[in-house]
Structure 1
Amino acid sequence: MLQYILKRLLLMIPTLLGVLLVSFVVIQFVPGGPVEQMVYQLKSHGSGESAGNTSGGTYQAARGLSEEQLSQIKAQYGFDKPAHERFWQMLKNYATFNLGDSWFRHASVTDLIWEKLPVSMSLGISSLLLTYLIAVPLGVAKAVRQGTRFDAVTTLILMIGYAIPSFVLGVVLLVLFGGGSFWQLFPLRGLTSDDWESLSMMGKVMDYLWHLVLPVTAMVAGGFAALTMLTKNSFLEEINKQYVTTARAKGLSERRIFWKHIFRNAALPLVVGLPEAIIAAFFTGSLLIETLFSLDGLGLLSFESVMRRDYPVVLGTLYFFTLLGLIGRLLSDIGYVLLDPRVQFGAVGEGAQ
């Protein structure tokens, strides 16, 4: 077990290097980088003021930038060094979890992540809990009632919910319940009310949850189908196995067979994937949902960073999310071993030897 964990940890290094290398190389060929944006802003500023201001600096900016000014701009963003030196410096900083500073927000990438993380965590964790609390019992019920009208009707509802994009559903919810053309039951934007500071502790909790209702509903409506069908198929597979028939032949009650044997084995894939799902839920900030409900989370941060070519934020967040994703996958594998003693990592390789 320990040997397997060490191997997985060592394998994370080339995976991270590969992700960063590919992203870094792609970024080098993306047009409209920070240097080009700064040059364009200086030229636009100079041309806009040249008619009313005849100072030497403005006139020079209107005509173009000198080589010295262009070199200063490149040095400001670190583009005065070769690409391989910049990549190597980035790797050394990332090894010490120094993600650098944003070029346009004038803050460290780490501070930006921690600032936006609560919003994405609120959406992700709430949607994850709601999905599991509804989808798992529904999947079990569909497995037990396989082929009945209940199974057919719920499958139809799940497919309709899965087919509706979350953004479209969010617009419909705002129109219906956000004070559009019908009822004003839920707030339109943000996660807190204007008088949030004056509320009691319980009032703050209820206000926060009340603001989450519409965006979380829009996010999870389509996510029920996959988990529900996974749960149903997992339980159906266990129900049709030989040990269930043997248990019935021994005279065990259906209740005991289900909870002691079927449930424990069928729920294994769901429980094992939970650590990875929890970590992923921290960063499930949906750009469209955050934009629609005016939520300043990681999804909006990533989009704005890509559009503004804020490469330290783009690469820093990518590194952070990839690292946590690999850790989540490792925790899921470890949980599989702990919950199912029959699984032994390395057993296949040892047997082959």
Structure 2
Amino acid sequence: MQPTTKRLKEILKDFEGKEIIVVGDVMLDHFIKGSVSRISPEAPVPVVDVKKEFFVAGGAGNVAVNLAALGAKPVMVSVVGQDLGGEMLKGFLREKNVNIYGIAEDPDRPTTQKIRVMADQQQIVRFDRESKKTVSPSVASTCMKSFEMAVKTAKGVILSDYGKGMLSDHNIQTIIDTCRKHKIPVCVDPKIDNFKKYKHITCMTPNTKEAWEGAGESPKHGEEAILALGDKILNMLEAESVLITRSAEGMTLFEKGRKTPFTVRATAREVYDVTGAGDTVISVLTLALAAGATLREAAVISNYAAGIVVEKSGTATTTREEIEGVLPQ
């Protein structure tokens, strides 16, 4: 049964001021955009005539920015290098009203950066500056002390895993155990390498590709295959729920103790760019749960939010007002 528009608006109203902790891998996304009209005489490569250049917070940082845009009070727990990229990233997050006291600096690793060169909407090349090593014990300890401080007043936790070393086995277990102790929702956007380590969580939000890989299976076609896949992941993780995002097919929620999955159909009229849509889904889902929504209500609101951001260009966010605007009258 679909929740009423009145109920969804009540939940959205309660987003305001909710403190949500985001633990994960922050990144600095650097975009260089231009056009191509010739090939270089020095090598068989296109020459990009640069027209625009900008930076945004990526990875777990984009999750925190999404939360702030929705009226929440996000606390970021992560690590950056002692470099210009780290200073820029912290500055961007601060400007977006993200609390950054949980971001530690590590002199032995660079701030993760993704540098994309775009020509007429086509990505020409991407440069990555990063370390995938597990964060050192001393830096991890600093981060976890910040987490323990923030969790005393938090209403929810998001683990945003991009496989850059912030979410070690020990950190994952400590965070989940702490959330269960405080009885607050903990939701996970997984990296395949850590997929099976996220046991006893409130919800995991893999896309279809991640779900198949995480379950260790080859992709299969058909609705029955997806339903079997969701049940397998739910049991494997002993989780309260799993929400598989399915692009044009919407998303399907699997809940512990419920035999029948709940599918929400996609709402986007035109898909322009799916970049960052997963960050929006987990942000809205966790915030809705923190505001007292049921898992099904939270999934419905997340679906509307995802429909909005895929109609925008680039790593986009949405607001409560925009979500209200697309709800049925």
Q: Same fold (TM over 0.5)?
A: no
* Structure with max Cα Rg: 1
Q: Which has the higher contact order (CA 8 A, sep 6+)?
A: 1
Normalising by structure 2, report the TM-score. 0.23
Greater share of helix residues, 1 or 2?
1
Normalising by structure 1, report the TM-score. 0.22
